[in-house]
Structure 1
Amino acid sequence: MKKVKFAVSGIKCGGCVGKVVNQLKDLSGVVNINVDIEKQEVLVSGEHGFSNMLIKSMLGEIGFTVTSMKKLEA
């Protein structure tokens, strides 16, 4: 399973979490999304088919800025 942690600026509340989850939940290959408001991080895990750049772009479309991405050990 692939896991990528995105540092995302602008996540401030439960509404932000909902926007992130709704935007990413139906992407091909995405199995799980965890959003940490305090750390302003989004952890996406799933099959190897999901695109980091597509996730970064989709987060930008809803008003968030990805400041870094890090692949984690599965």
Structure 2
Amino acid sequence: MSTATYTVTGMTCGHCVSSVTEEVQEITGVTGVDVDLPSGKVTVTSQAPLDDARVRAAVEDAGYQLTS
């Protein structure tokens, strides 16, 4: 198992959280996504370390920006 935490900007509501969660969960190997709206932190659990570019693309597909 691997866990990584990212910071996402632009999320303001529960719908934002759902959108990011759905997109990131579609990445092959992801086993869990936890989004903390107030801090903008997104913690992703996966079977193996993920390519940050894939996470960035998923967040951008949801309409938000990955800042770290």
What is the TM-score normalised by the length of structure 1? 0.83
Query: Does 2:66 match 1:44?
Result: no
1:51 Cα deviation after fit: 2.4
Q: Residue 39 of structure 1: SS of its match in structure 2?
A: coil
> Which protein has the bigger strand share?
1
Counterpart AA for 2:24 = L
Runs of 4+ more than 4 Å apart: none
Q: 1:26, 1:59 → 2: CA distance?
A: 11
Q: How many residues are matched?
A: 68
Report the CA distance between 1:12 and its aligned residue: 1.0
TM-score in terms of structure 2 length: 0.89
Unaligned runs of 5+ in 1: 69-74
- SS of residue matched to 2:31: strand
RMSD: 1.2
- Which deviations, in whole Å up to 9, do the C-alpha atoms of 1:16-68 show, x marking residues without a partner? 01101111212211000000000011100111153221011111122111111
Partner of 1:23: 23
Q: Percent identity?
A: 25
Indicate if the aligned counterparts of 1:23 and 1:58 stay in contact, CA closer than 8 A: yes
Instruction: Give the counterpart letter for 1:63 in structure 2.
Output: G
